[in-house]
Amino acid sequence: MSYKIQIDDTIREATSDEAARIEAQRAEAAAQAAALDAKAAALVSARQKLAALGLSEAEVAALLGG
């Protein structure tokens, strides 16, 4: 993929090294977003399972901190 880089008022094509760093940063950001989504899904699942066991919302909140 081709990237453009702007430094002050100058716009230029990214070098191959810069493009590789941009791709690595995008991959890292995607991995972090996926990890946050997985953590949120696990929390929802935990809340549902605890509620299914008969715990009240207050008890679930006390166990999970929120």
Write the pLDDT tens digit of every residue in 5-64. 999 999 999 999 999 999 999 999 999 999 999 999 999 999 999 999 999 999 999 999
Exposure string over 18-53, b if 16+ CB within 10 A, otherwise e: eeeeeeeeeeeeeeeeeeeeeeeeeeeeebeebeee
Of the pLDDT bands very low, low, confident and very high (cuts 50, 70, 90), residue 65 is: confident
Centre a 10 Å sphere on the Cβ of residue 54 and count the other Cβ atoms it contains. Answer: 7
* Euclidean distance between CA atoms 13 and 37, whole angstroms: 34
| Residues 60 and 51: beta-carbon distance below 8 Å | yes
